[in-house]
Structure 1
Amino acid sequence: MSRLTDGHPRPTPIAAERGPAAGAVAAAASRATGTSLTEVLQRAELQVRLDRKYLVAADRFSRLAELLAHELDVLEIDESRSFAYESLYFDTPGLLTYREHLEGRDDRFKVRTRAYLDVAEAMFEVKLADPRKGTIKRRIGHPFRHRDRITSGAWRHLSAVLGAAGRRAPRELAPSCVTAYRRATFVARDGSARLTCDHDLLVSSEDRAERALSDHVLVEVKSAHGASFVDRALAALGLAPVSVSKYCVGMALLHPELPSGPWDALLERYFDRAPALAAA
Structure 2
Amino acid sequence: MKQQIAQIVNNLDPISLNEMDGVSLMKRTDTKFIIHQQQLIEVLKTITNQYKVLEINKNRLLTYSSLYFDTENKKFYHDHHNGKVNRTKVRMRKYMESNSCFLEIKQKDGKGKTTKSRIQIKDFETELSQNLVEFINSKTSEKFNLKPSIWNKFDRITLVNKHAMERLTIDLNLEFNMETSSKSYKNLAIIEVKQQRFDRTSPVVKSLKKIGINPYSMSKYCIGMTNIYPELKYNRFKRKIIKINKITA
Deviation of residue 35 (structure 1)? 1.1
| Preserved contact between residue 122 and residue 147 of structure 1 (Cα < 8 Å) | no
Deviation of residue 133 (structure 1)? 5.8
Deviation of residue 151 (structure 1)? 1.9
Post-superposition CA distance 1:67-112 (Å, at most 9, x none): 1111001001111101110111001110000000101111110011
Matches within 5 A, 1:5-16: none
**Structure 2 residue aligned with 1:155, among 133, 153, 156?**
133
Distance 1:157 1:190 in 2: 36
Of stretches 230-239 and 119-128 in structure 1, the one that deviates more from structure 2 is: 230-239
**What is residue 183 of structure 2 aligned with on the other side?**
210
**What is residue 118 of structure 1 aligned with on the other side?**
97
**What is residue 52 of structure 1 aligned with on the other side?**
31
Matches within 5 A, 1:1-280: 20=1, 22-42=2-22, 44-132=23-111, 134-144=113-123, 146-163=124-141, 168-170=142-144, 172-212=145-185, 214-228=186-200, 229=202, 230-271=204-245
Of stretches 194-203 and 231-240 in structure 1, the one that deviates more from structure 2 is: 231-240
Of stretches 177-186 and 119-128 in structure 1, the one that deviates more from structure 2 is: 119-128
Q: TM-score, normalised on structure 2?
A: 0.92
Q: 1:152 to 1:24 in 2, by over 3 A?
A: farther
Deviation of residue 24 (structure 1)? 4.5
Amino acid at match of 2:26: Q
Amino acid at match of 2:80: H
Q: 1:28 to 1:95 in 2, by over 3 A?
A: same
Distance 1:256 1:120 in 2: 33
**What is residue 10 of structure 1 aligned with on the other side?**
none
Aligned residues: 244
Q: Secondary structure at the match of 2:65?
A: strand
Task: Name the structure where strand makes up a greater proportion of residues.
Answer: 2
| Preserved contact between residue 47 and residue 138 of structure 1 (Cα < 8 Å) | yes
Amino acid at match of 1:199: L
Distance 1:207 1:117 in 2: 23
Post-superposition CA distance 1:35-58 (Å, at most 9, x none): 11111222x111111001111112
Q: Secondary structure at the match of 1:218?
A: strand
**What is residue 15 of structure 1 aligned with on the other side?**
none
Deviation of residue 28 (structure 1)? 2.8
Distance 1:98 1:71 in 2: 36
Amino acid at match of 1:246: K
Distance 1:254 1:231 in 2: 32
Distance 1:162 1:97 in 2: 12
Q: Percent identity?
A: 27
| Preserved contact between residue 59 and residue 97 of structure 2 (Cα < 8 Å) | no
Post-superposition CA distance 1:9-53 (Å, at most 9, x none): xxxxxxxxxxx3x345323311211111111222x1111110011
Aligned residues: CA RMSD: 1.6
| Runs (5+) with no aligned partner, structure 1 | 1-19, 273-280
| Preserved contact between residue 56 and residue 97 of structure 2 (Cα < 8 Å) | no
